[in-house]
Amino acid sequence: MAEAIARRQAADVIEASSAGLTPLGRVAALAKQTLASNGYQGENLESKPMMPSLWEAAELIINMTGRPRESLFRDWHKVEDWDVEDPYGTDPELYQRILEDIEGRVRELAERLRRNGSKGS
């Protein structure tokens, strides 16, 4: 969901690309439904692994695993932890709350990047 939100709300400062440490290989139907009901494009989203080329190209990595960045990444200085609950396997209401949480976090990140004059990826 974060990729779709960032692409719509902050394309001027964020080049969003979502990848996971242990991707499922698919995007949950409720994630796509929640995005669509909130006006976001979710059709082209895919579950993909974090590849070395993505890591190298990124200026900023958002970690939403729930585990601290220091425990997951060697070069954790370009990683920002977001404590976002994983809605997988739950109900539409939780998906909606998480979407709203991510919207707020993306908005805050975009404002910070705009103030600093940088573009995150």
- CATH fold, domain 2-113, is Rossmann fold (3.40.50)
Separation of alpha carbons 43 and 56, rounded Å: 27
Nearest to 83 by CA among 56, 54, 62, 60: 62
Separation of alpha carbons 90 and 116, rounded Å: 37
Q: Name the 3-class secondary structure at 30.
A: helix
Top-confidence residue, 121 or 65: 65
Residues 6+ apart with CB under 8 A from 38: 96, 99
Model pTM above 0.85 = yes
Are 60 and 80 within 8 A, CB to CB? yes
Q: Name the 3-class secondary structure at 61.
A: strand
pLDDT in tens, 31-43: 999 999 999 988 7
